[in-house]
Amino acid sequence: MNEYEVITNIIERRRSVFPASYLPKDIEETTIAKVLAAANYAPTHKLTQPWRFVVITGEAKAKLGAELGRIYRETVPEAKFLQKKHDSFAEKTAQAACILAINIQFHPDQLPAWEEIASTACAVQNIALTAESLGIGAYWSSPPLIDHLDQFLGLSADEKCYGLFYMGYHEEAPRKANRTPMEEKIKWMK
Ligand SMILES: Cc1cc2nc3c(=O)[nH]c(=O)nc-3n(C[C@H](O)[C@H](O)[C@H](O)COP(=O)(O)O)c2cc1C
């Protein structure tokens, strides 16, 4: 395969893989580090490099699951509280081998927020593609609860959590991407 074929294959093959499909198998710390290293090559205006990650493994996963359950209980109106939904957080954090909290360190004196969000999304895609190349499934989860994780994650001022990136080895069969044709999203000007 030439380079175009290799990268296209990985880009097209990457799918969101959810914790219920993960195998009970750890991801070695050196492998997690490899996956994270890819984030640092994302494009970044004014080199602010706004992407920040908290790597959650081992016993910290259960702590995160309990914290998400606690926040859910505290923020959802009592009439809408669902025990099953509450329990699903601990279940998902237990099923994952590793969870990355995706955080952004903003530089309001240098750049508008959208540029740092865009840059961090590029970093997350680098992570997702590297994980895919290593047989690791992953997905970006963005429940509203992440707005309440600052203290748990030890975020600094001007830092905000934008998601939880669940990761785990899996044996899912490849799935075709569900997309409308790209031609509908392009306007050529010649
Ligand atoms: C910023 C962002 C946030 C997302 N948040 C969620 C989420 O909260 N729950 C979820 O099930 N999927 C979430 N996803 C994953 C999308 O559902 C998924 O990418 C989409 O269904 C397309 O599937 P694919 O990733 O397999 O191509 C998120 C994706 C992005 C980029």
Give the tens place of pLDDT for each residue, 130-176: 999 999 999 999 999 999 999 999 999 999 999 999 999 999 999 99
Query: Using the 8-state DSSP alphabet, how is residue 110 labeled?
Result: T
Average pLDDT over the chain, rounded to an integer: 98
**Number of structural domains found in the chain:** 1
Measuring CA to CA, which residue among 72, 46, 143 is closest to residue 102?
143
Q: Which residues line ligand 1 (CB under 6 A)?
A: 15-16, 139-143, 163, 177
Q: Which protein residue's CA is at the shortest distance from atom 10 of ligand 1?
A: 141
Element (H, E) at 137: strand 136-141
Residue type, 160: K
**Strands of the 136-141 sheet, one edge to the other:** 51-56, 98-105, 159-169, 136-141
Rounded CA-CA distance 108/92 in Å is 34
Q: For the segment 91-101, what is each residue's pLDDT rounded down to a tens digit?
A: 999 999 999 99
Assigned domain for 38 exists: yes
What one-letter code names the amino acid at 86?
A: H
Distance CA 59, CA 66 (A): 11
Residue 12 is predicted with a pLDDT of 98
Which residue's CA is the closest to the ligand 1 atom numbered 30? Answer: 140
Q: Is residue 65 part of a domain?
A: yes
**C-alpha of residue 142 to centroid of ligand 1, in Å:** 8
Question: Atom 6 (ligand 1): residue with closest C-alpha?
Answer: 141
Q: Is residue 179 part of a domain?
A: no
Atom of ligand 1 nearest to the CA of 139: 15
Domain with 128, as residue range(s), is 33-171
Strand-pair partners of 104: 51, 160
Amino acid code (one letter) for 31: T
Residue 71 belongs to a domain = yes
CATH number, domain containing residue 65: 3.40.109.10
